Amino acid sequence: MIVVLDTNIVASATFWRGKPAHCLEAWVNGKYELAISHPILAEYEEVVARLALRYPNKEQTDWLSAIKQAAQLYLPATLAPST
């Protein structure tokens, strides 16, 4: 199964335990393949950076590095204009 995770799942798992972290742990354990694109990765990074400023003393799990290394990168095809 190929999955795209909502940014809220990745951001939440970065700072807190619970179901979002369990979603990423399932990926690490081979339960599904994680799909990303450059725009999705940029959004993950932007939201995590914002939360890091908001919670400077909160310990982070570095899911972004794992995602960059092991997630499957997809390059979305450009849609032809409809006529």
Residue 12 is predicted with a pLDDT of 97
φ, ψ of residue 41 to 5 degrees: the values are -60, -40
**Mean pLDDT score across all residues of the chain:** 95
8 A C-beta contact, residue 11 and residue 44? yes
Say which residue, 41 or 80, is predicted with more confidence: 41
Radius of gyration of the chain (CA): 14
Tokens of 81: 């204009």
If 0-12 CB within 10 Å is exposed, 13-18 middle and 19+ buried, where does residue 14 land?
A: buried
pLDDT band at residue 37 under the 50/70/90 scheme: very high
pLDDT by residue (tens digit) across 17-34?
A: 999 999 999 999 999 999
pLDDT over 70, % of the chain = 99
pLDDT number for residue 7: 98
